[in-house]
Amino acid sequence: MVGKGLKKLYTALIFLFLYAPIIILIVYSFNESKSRGVFSGFTLKWYEDLFRNREVMKALSNTMIIAVLTTIVATLLGTFAAIGIHFSKKGPFKQMVMNLNYLPILNPDVVIAVSLIALYRFMGLDFGLATILLSHITFCTPYVVLAVLPKLKQMNIHLAEAAMDLGAKPMYALRKVVIPEIMPGIVTGALLAFTLSVDDFVISFFTTGHGVQNLSILIFSMARRGINPVINALSTFMLIGFFALLLIINKISKKEDEQEEY
């Protein structure tokens, strides 16, 4: 009994350590004072100021546009790349492709950012929203590949062949047989791509242009002169939004599992 109690206490302390900063951020988003050291009273003025702050709303808009487009493109590229890798014959080429896929994941963000800067300058591209988007797609796609591949390995390899033997064309078999089987991996990859895009700072900072910034760049620039409490309010909204999205996805997944059981 004592051992179980200690395990529960240890687990509780770990989660407290992980989530205490987030709880403090939420609490101080209602703090009347700008100080992060003293709670002087309850207020909603920072939430009101949030929607009047054009700079923050513009950065949020840029962040969401980049994240959504990155998720769509990276998920499509990563899914089809994973399917191609999985169904290709074993050999040096397949191993080389997998190693190339690991490079953006294992390389430090600074190395990727500097490499992308050199590439964009060589191509003569103007730095701005487009270069940030291309950069995010570049480093998010490998994560989608790694999320989809395990589901492909779990799938019965004869399903697609059986569908084509029964008269289905390759694209029809892909849409109706393969894609539904690996959908959990695709959803996981899409969520990873979206989260990584919203969270990224280093690559965005290096590949942005004049006057274009996302939330991470804006918060970094604010840190030098003090974080505006408006950011606490925005972070609270984003946390609630992501939590709601996670609940919806879990509910949909649970329904699909129940349907498969029946």
* Per-residue confidence (pLDDT) for residue 2, from 0 to 100: 59
Q: Is residue 243 part of a domain?
A: no
The arithmetic mean of pLDDT across residues 211-215, rounded, is 86
Domain hosting 178: range is 55-224
Of 55-59, 178-182, 220-224, the one with minimum mean pLDDT is: 220-224
Q: Is residue 28 part of a domain?
A: no
* Per-residue confidence (pLDDT) for residue 55, from 0 to 100: 87
Q: Is the pLDDT of residue 67 over 90?
A: yes
The arithmetic mean of pLDDT across residues 16-45, rounded, is 81
The arithmetic mean of pLDDT across residues 22-45, rounded, is 80
Q: What percent of the chain has pLDDT over 70?
A: 94
* Per-residue confidence (pLDDT) for residue 46, from 0 to 100: 86
Q: Is residue 70 part of a domain?
A: yes
Q: Is residue 72 part of a domain?
A: yes
Rounded CA-CA distance 174/66 in Å is 28
Q: Is residue 88 part of a domain?
A: yes
Give the largest Cα separation in the chain, rounded: 72
Angstrom CA distances, 240 to 30, 42, 168, 171, 234, stand at 15, 20, 44, 39, 10
Q: Is the pLDDT of residue 258 over 70?
A: no
* Per-residue confidence (pLDDT) for residue 160, from 0 to 100: 77
Number of domains the chain is built from: 1
Contact, 154 vs 234, CB < 8 A? Answer: no
Q: Is residue 185 part of a domain?
A: yes
The token pair at 17 is 């350590």
What predicted TM-score, i.e. pTM, was given to this entire model? 0.84
* Per-residue confidence (pLDDT) for residue 262, from 0 to 100: 54
The token pair at 128 is 């701005």
**255: burial class by Cβ within 10 Å (0-12, 13-18, 19+)?**
exposed
Q: Is the pLDDT of residue 205 over 60?
A: yes
Q: Is the pLDDT of residue 257 over 80?
A: no
Q: Is the pLDDT of residue 92 over 70?
A: yes
Tell me the CATH number at 167. Answer: 1.10.3720.10
Q: Is residue 204 part of a domain?
A: yes
* Per-residue confidence (pLDDT) for residue 204, from 0 to 100: 92
User: Chain-wide mean pLDDT for the chain?
Assistant: 85
User: Is the pLDDT higher at 262 or at 10?
Assistant: 10
The arithmetic mean of pLDDT across residues 140-169, rounded, is 85
Q: Is residue 21 part of a domain?
A: no
* Per-residue confidence (pLDDT) for residue 209, from 0 to 100: 85
* Per-residue confidence (pLDDT) for residue 133, from 0 to 100: 94
Rounded CA-CA distance 201/218 in Å is 10
